[in-house]
Structures are given as structure tokens and as C-alpha cells.
Amino acid sequence: MEHISTNVSGPWLLAGDFNIISFADERSGGSHVNMGAMGDFNLAIFNCSLGDVEFDGPPFTWTYGRVWQRLDRALMNQQWSSVFVEYLGRGLQNFISEDGSRQYSASGGIVPFLAFADDLIIFTRASEDCLRDLLSLLHRYQSCSGQRINVAKSSFTCSSRVSDSLLNMISDTTGYRRQFLPFVYLGVPIDKTRLKCIHYDGLVSKIRGRISHWSSKLLSMGGKIILLRHVLGSMPLYLCQVMDPSKAIIISIARLFNAFLWDDESWKIHWTSWEKLCFPKEEGGLGFRSLEAMVQAFSCKLWWNFRLQVSPWAKFMLCKYAQLSHPSKVELGHSSAIWRRLVSIRETAEPNIRWCLGEGLVDFWYDRWLLGDPLYHLYCPQDSTHFLVAEFFYWGQME
């Protein structure tokens, strides 16, 4: 097996009678399990970067008298598994696109599904025929890949205006439970409105729990500074990238950090505020990360990713909110929390973006491609229609 794995770079599957078990519970009856041989077999599987393929049927594949064992199995590498993941992605894409009645359409366009590793969100219509066809596709994927959908962790989400009869139909057809908003996806609460302070209790509780495991009396000031910089200061980073915490949450986390630094006792004096400690050492601070500055930096990064128009998310947001006008000129209006976050940072991030001309696929009036300011500020045209720089070129010359 190890010799084969060194000569194979693509997907491969190894199946057959290995004449050995991998776990002690794969044998019933007989003498004691040979732990040494079983350990060597598992080590070989690990060195070959293989994984066990799940199967349906009896737990044992071989018997002799009163001895029952699972000697037959199939092993696959990550590349082989990714083939089925690609099959699932293409299958869902075709499933939604081939029939308009299955599409869950929004003003930003059609998004069939979102997937990361083994976490999957599918957007579709709540009709019985559509749900049955979708379950049939998922069952085919399970039978081909050997993977199984965890029904206990699966759920469906729908509008609060859906009737009880429709809810019962969805639940009976899929066997899944209903999940109300907000729900957690990839560690982030998902809701259609701005998240409240209670939704950040998990983050605040983790920080408070981490601090409670450290005895501040046994730590020097230098040790506390190291823990604040590299441990506590890193805990809010993930949520700050995808969410815009309120001022109250930022103040609450800053108070926890400051209390840990100066010892959380009533008679201890806090010699300075946390905001001043977040200044660089050259300016009299201790060089801690400011939570407000981190949120602002991540918001600028979000605006930059939106303006690049590379990811499906950026294209969806452009189609939904800025399809008919330049992103820097779109009014806020009735919008989602993520768009409000983008608009709030727009005046800070947009003036710092410069565009290379390239093929001329930049806005002639509103993008900064020629001077420090957009041409719209120098000459206000009566017609503010979008024009790309490429539209002003004719046979390699600018008109």
C-alpha cells in the first residue's frame, strides 16, 4: 500500500479482503485481538493518507464458527473523495438551473447553494416535488461516496409567514426539523437583521472563561501582556471579519482585557484606559490591538473584495444593490446589515483605491484611474451614465 501511494498522485481507491481488522469492535468472539498487527495496519493507512469508505449492510464480512470479523473494506484518498464533492456541486447546480420552478430567486440573482467542507446550505423552493427530487439527488450522492447526511444536525429555514400545512409538508418530506433565525453557520450567527448583543454572548463567554483559567496573581505584567497580545487579542478576530459588533460589545470585551491586565479586584487601580493602551509603544501605549481599528480594517477589506468582483458573493452584492449605478454613488435605502457595513466604510476605503487601466474595464467617471480624484469631481457630466474606459478606445486610440 505504501509503495503504491508513493507512485500515485491522483485519486485512487483500494478495496478488497485485507485479512485484518482496523478497530477492536470489528471482531466478535475468538481469542484476543492482535493489537500490534492492527496498529501496523492503521499506521499504513495513515501513511498512505487513506480514509475508510462507509458502507451499508452487516457489520461483519467474514465468519468462521463463532468468530465474526470485518476483513473486507474500501479505502480512498482525499482526491478520490473530492471527485464526489465535485459531483455533488455540479449536481446541485444542474438541479436548480434545469427547472425554473426549483429556483429560489432573489434580487441579487440565483444562488443554488453554499458549501464549505461538509457544511452545506441549499436554496430551493418549498414544493413537494422539488424536495423529493432534491432528496433523490442527495441519496445518489450518499450511495456513490459512502458519506452520510446527519439528519440530527440537518434542518430547514423558511419565512415566518409560511403556513402550518406547508411546514408540516416540508418536515414530513425531508425528515428535518425547522430552524429559526438566527442560526449558526461556520461559527457565525446568520440573521436577516443586525445582530443584537445577546448573539455575541458566546464570544464574550469564551474570553471570560479563558481568563478565569489563568491566575493573575501568579502572572507578571509581562506575562499578561503576552497573553493579551497573542491569545485574548486573537479570539475576536474571526467574528470581526464577518460581523460588525456594536459599540457595547467592543466596550464589554475591552473591559475584560483591561480588568485582566490590572487584576480584577475592586481595590486595584486601572492606571490608564484600554483605548490608550492600544496606541503603539512609541506613542505611549503597549501596542495592543484596538477592536474598533480591527473592525474598521476588516470592513475596508470587505469593501475591497466587493470592488474586485472576483467572488460569487461580490457579484451577488453588486447585482442586488449596485446594478444600475456605481457602488460609490448608491444610497443606503432598505438594505441588509452587510450592505450597511459596506456603505459605512465606503467613504474611507474608496479614496484609497487606485485602478490600473489594463483592458480598460474601469469606470471612466467614478473610478480613480488617471488622477488622485475621479474625473467626475473635475468635470461633472450632465449624463452620469456608466462608461468604461475601454468604450472610449477605437482601434487602439482614445477618442
pLDDT at 141: 85
Q: pLDDT tens, 181-224? A: 888 888 888 888 778 888 888 889 999 888 888 876 778 888 88
Phi-psi label, residue 187: left if phi above 0, alpha if psi -120 to 50, beta otherwise: left
pLDDT at 299: 94
| pLDDT above 70 (res 399) | no
| Beta-strand runs (E) in the chain | 13-17, 27-28, 50-52, 62-64, 67-69, 72-77, 105-106, 109-110, 113-116, 119-122, 155-156, 177-178, 183-185, 188-190, 393-394, 397-398
pLDDT at 398: 57
- Show me where the domains of the chain are located: 2-76, 80-189, 197-289, 354-399
pLDDT at 298: 93
Cβ neighbors of 192 (< 8 A, separation 6 or more) are 181, 336
- Percent of the chain residues past pLDDT 70, beyond the cut: 94
Nearest to 245 by CA among 185, 201, 281: 201
The x, y and z cell numbers of residue 218, run together, are 501568579
| pLDDT above 60 (res 266) | no
CA atoms within 13 A on the CB side of 372: 0
| pLDDT above 80 (res 351) | yes
Q: How far is CA 126 from CA 70, 224, 327, in A?
A: 42, 53, 34
Question: Across 6-10, 81-85, 294-298, which has the greatest mean pLDDT?
Answer: 294-298
CA atoms within 13 A on the CB side of 119: 6
Contact assessment for residue 369 and residue 389, using Cβ atoms and an 8 Å cutoff: yes
Residue, of 379 and 18, whose pLDDT is higher: 18
DSSP letter string, 233-247: GGTTHHHHHH----H
pTM (2 d.p.)? 0.73
pLDDT at 30: 79
| pLDDT above 90 (res 100) | no
